[in-house]
Amino acid sequence: MGSWDNLLVAQSGGATAVINASLVGAVETARASARFGAIIGARNGIEGILGAEFVDLGRQPPDVLMAVARTPSAALGTTRRRLDDETAALAVRNLARREVHHVAYIGGNDSADTASRLARAAVDARYELAVVGIPKTIDNDLPDTDHCPGYGSIARFMALATRDAGRDTEATAGLYPIKLIEVMGRNAGWVAAATALGQERDIDSPQLIFFPERPARDLATFLDEIGAAHRRYGHVVAIVPETARDASGDPLTGAEAYWTDPFGHRYYQSPGPMLARAIEERLGLRARYDKPGTIARMFGACLSETDLSEAHMVGAAAVQLLLTGVSGVMVTLVRAGDAPYRCATGTTPLASVANRERHLPDEFITDGGRGITDAFRAYAVPLIGGPLPLYGRLLDLDLPGA
């Protein structure tokens, strides 16, 4: 490949608070190299490549890039479209028309599949194309990387939101003693685990975390655990995954999916409202539920500075790999130390990431299956970008002479 080949950058999958930092890291590194004739952005991921919808990234003013880097969601737009052989071949032809020989593709498990298919289609077409994946997912479930850009920021959000929900539930225990918080994360418990990072005492919320890796045996068992926690604490904040299932793997909301995306992920009705109704009807306890949803995965006010820095770092590393002729890999984050915390970059084959999930390991879940261990705290606290604001409690003081 020549010195003046063009570079294309695209974003895909669920947007995060820091995905644009990866975009800017790639663009700034590419511009500094002076090795690319043009730096092109594809609108809405692979959709933009297929529809030839592009934007010039190379001529963006520095102040624009600086602002975009700290802006949540995907500046280029995103997609969940899956490539097949026909559309992959069309994508390669459209890249060839623009003389694009390097692609940096930002995304998660499904996006690694897209990037891998694109690289294979180029080989089949005998077109020189180097493709490197840039990791991104709030689910934190990509294999072969210590953690994923996007996770530190949602972890900070969930820690703060759960701590506040706990104070509110404690204060209103006479009205609504049970609060369910439904969290994202698909089939892995990384986001659920982060809800406990704001605990200062063992009795602080959340009192129960129903990890995808440790589901309740059935609805009756779930209710038994809620009831027991209420008797112990007087109020309960319980974390339930969006994919809440029983021990046999069946969704608690019923086996019928209301939608299946192009990558085969099945979506079921939200478990929060159903479980809240069951608590009220069977336990006689008033219950509420919160579902932060997409606001949690890209809430700019809870952006982790560590997350932001590392997102920029993996974007830059991807372009550096492309400049040295590397292809078919995803950039990874490698923890280089904990005192102080340090992180470097590495690589793993795209094929090792595509359509695979990394679950929360046993050592991060307490023996009872409903809380986090000190090992998880040591892992996750450096990622959330500094300590949480301190809260206070009134002292239980008697009046003089009482």
Active site residues: 139
Alpha helices (H) in 43-102, listed in sequence order: 46-50, 62-69, 85-97
CB 169 within 8 A of CB 177: yes
Tokens standing for residue 329: 């890999």
The total of other beta-carbon atoms located within 10 Å of residue 158's CB is: 31
CB 393 within 8 A of CB 170: no
**From CA 175, how far away is CA 14, in angstroms rounded?**
36
Return the axis-axis angle of helices 151-171 and 305-323, rounded to nearest 10°. Answer: 160
Pairing of strands 341-349, 329-338: antiparallel
Of 4, 54, 55, 7, the closest CA to residue 28 belongs to 7
Of 187, 188, 205, the closest CA to residue 197 belongs to 205
**From CA 23, how far away is CA 232, in angstroms rounded?**
48
CB 86 within 8 A of CB 65: no
**From CA 102, how far away is CA 9, in angstroms rounded?**
9
* Backbone angles phi and psi of 17, in degrees to 5: -75, -20
Pairing of strands 6-11, 287-290: unpaired
**From CA 163, how far away is CA 308, in angstroms rounded?**
23
Q: In what order do the strands lie in the sheet with 178-183?
A: 208-209, 236-241, 178-183, 287-290
